[in-house]
Structure 1
Amino acid sequence: MTPAATRSDRRISPVFLGIAAVTAVAGWAVWTGFADSTGFAVFLFVTGAWIVSLCLHEYAHARTALHGGDLSVGAKGYLTLNPLKYTHALLSIVLPVLFVIMGGIGLPGGAVYIERGRIHGRWKHSLISAAGPLTNVAFAVVCTAPFWLDALDGVPRAFQYALAFLAMLQVTAAILNFLPIPGLDGYGVIEPWLSYRIRRQVEPIAPFGLIAVFALLWVPEVNVVFFDAVHALLRGLGVEEFQRYCGYDLYRFWRSWFGEEDPGCAVD
């Protein structure tokens, strides 16, 4: 591979830069309350930031794989942060965004395709799988920094709410991704340490892992336990439940179109 090709494989995609630019402009609109369009601005800001985090999640998998020995990730375009290059663009981007819109849940998406045969060493395989959800953890820490640093003075309330909701998405994504369920990154972390027989038995059900998680979250008892854990973690990071709720309420700017009651989340 020539140096020019290598540079091209790792150049940040204009698609990603465009998403990041929209996110930044929307964040500015939320901060300033531009044109009295706070709800729509929160929607664009949170959705854009969520897509950015998904791209970084997949990039972390690919970058770690590159250093682990899989040089093919560059040719596949994974190092450009372009969501259109992912093997499962529907699972990696579209479905996670739909789940946010429908239920305010940061459901993990599909991973990039790593040629595992090129990588030697169980620790390397585990680290490649862990790199993605660790990116969500880092994103959550950044989003909650103003809360646990007690640095909210001067931060507009709408922006606080948006950050709180975005932080909740990152925490839910990290927890779900780390579950040791076939098809999710958590299973990828432990898989190299399992026997060959167990791996072969699990392999046929791996594609259904994400569906199983989604189904389990519809079980009331499971849903309560899961969100109790999410709320406890966020409270530990200084984010209160009403802030997250108000962030989700602002995100759903279309609720008034259907006559839903205004919960009274003041942003002035």
Structure 2
Amino acid sequence: MSNFLWYPIEDLPFIFIVIMIAFTVHEFAHAYSAYKFGDRTAYDAGRVTLNPRVHIDIFGMILLLIAGFGWARPVPVNRGKFKYPRLMGIVVSAVGPLSNLLIAGIGILALYVMNQTGLMDVGSIGVHRAIIHFLYYLITINLMLFIFNLIPVPPLDGYRIIQDLVPLKVRFKMDQNVHWGMFLFLLIIFIPQLRAVTITPLFSLSGDIIGGFQSFYELFFHPVSWQSFILDFLGYSRS
């Protein structure tokens, strides 16, 4: 970490690319699923696209680089257009974080293939370093966004999922007090002591998620010596 950035300044090109991929796919997943369920709000706003320009929030991206968290432009969703508003609302909210989980899984699979086939040792040092750094951030940032967005605090996706799960009376009270939830969210983000006992422990789940992907891939491939490779590479412990 540099003096003013969350990430090493020399890795910014990789991080910019990963953030654009992560945010774009996340918001596209929200917009596309809402459109398929009958809500044209995001479609009419031009959000059903993989063009990063319509999804990226410059301030949210800068904050991610500086503070380690950030956001994209939220996708407008009108749940009243859904045939089953609560069920489809849960799906629309969940597909965003799940898309980040999928991207991380693809990155882990790429590392597995490279390690098993010997591609980890092929090519020049510069090319090798670039690929490794890109995959490292592709996995870690997308896992962070997956976990972070499922926290049940507004304005995150986890809060919207809870809203659609609870009884309508509870949801009404949640809507009345959403500003307090936003206040709590800002306190957690900007006060290091609160982050240390809330968000930081959640991010430690990344190691377990990576281990789960490993076990899943081993259903289709012969077990090899890569079992601890990815966790060690990303700095996690299986203890």
Among residues 16, 22, 32, which one is paired with 1:53 in the alignment? 22
Name the aligned partner's letter for residue 211 of structure 1.
Answer: L
Q: Is the 8 A contact 1:62 1:73 kept in 2?
A: yes
Compute the displacement of 1:196 (Å).
1.8
**Are positions 1:101 and 2:73 aligned together?**
no
For the residues of structure 2 that align with 1:183 and 1:158, how far apart are their CA atoms? 35
Match of 1:125 in 2: 89
Name the aligned partner's letter for residue 93 of structure 2.
Answer: S
Name the aligned partner's letter for residue 23 of structure 2.
Answer: L
Q: Is the 8 A contact 1:191 1:199 kept in 2?
A: yes
**Are positions 1:154 and 2:154 aligned together?**
no
Match of 2:230 in 1: 239
Name the aligned partner's letter for residue 239 of structure 1.
Answer: I
TM-score, length basis structure 2: 0.70
Q: Is the 8 A contact 1:60 1:132 kept in 2?
A: yes
Compute the displacement of 1:148 (Å).
3.5
SS at match of 2:204: helix
For the residues of structure 1 that align with 2:165 and 2:197, how far apart are their CA atoms? 31
Compute the displacement of 1:157 (Å).
3.2
Q: Is the 8 A contact 1:55 1:82 kept in 2?
A: yes
Compute the displacement of 1:201 (Å).
1.5
Match of 2:186 in 1: 211
Q: May I ask how many residue pairs the two structures share in their alignment? A: 200
Match of 1:136 in 2: 100
* Residue 154 to residue 212, structure 1, CA distance change in 2 (3 Å): farther
For the residues of structure 2 that align with 1:45 and 1:145, how far apart are their CA atoms? 19
1:212-236, CA deviations, whole angstroms, 9 ceiling, x for partnerless residues? 5524664233354233223443466
Q: For structure 2, which runs of at least 5 residues remain unmatched after alignment?
A: 1-8, 215-228
* Residue 118 to residue 185, structure 1, CA distance change in 2 (3 Å): same
Deviates more, 1:228-237 or 1:125-134: 228-237
Q: Is the 8 A contact 1:55 1:83 kept in 2?
A: yes
Q: Is the 8 A contact 1:99 1:107 kept in 2?
A: yes
* Residue 218 to residue 60, structure 1, CA distance change in 2 (3 Å): farther
Q: Is the 8 A contact 1:139 1:170 kept in 2?
A: yes
Higher relative CO (Cα under 8 Å, sequence separation at least 6) belongs to: 1
* Residue 125 to residue 223, structure 1, CA distance change in 2 (3 Å): closer
For the residues of structure 1 that align with 2:170 and 2:200, how far apart are their CA atoms? 31
Name the aligned partner's letter for residue 186 of structure 1.
Answer: G
For the residues of structure 2 that align with 1:216 and 1:200, how far apart are their CA atoms? 29
Q: For structure 1, which runs of at least 5 residues remain unmatched after alignment?
A: 1-38, 246-268
Aligned residues with identical type, % of pairs: 22
For the residues of structure 2 that align with 1:199 and 1:110, how far apart are their CA atoms? 24
CA-atom RMSD in angstroms: 2.9
Compute the displacement of 1:211 (Å).
2.3
For the residues of structure 1 that align with 2:12 and 2:178, how far apart are their CA atoms? 33
* Residue 109 to residue 190, structure 1, CA distance change in 2 (3 Å): same
Q: Is the 8 A contact 2:163 2:174 kept in 1?
A: no
Name the aligned partner's letter for residue 129 of structure 1.
Answer: S
* Residue 75 to residue 223, structure 1, CA distance change in 2 (3 Å): closer
Among residues 151, 156, 171, which one is paired with 1:199 in the alignment? 171
For the residues of structure 2 that align with 1:71 and 1:227, how far apart are their CA atoms? 35
**Are positions 1:189 and 2:189 aligned together?**
no
1:220-257, CA deviations, whole angstroms, 9 ceiling, x for partnerless residues? 33354233223443466553466469xxxxxxxxxxxx
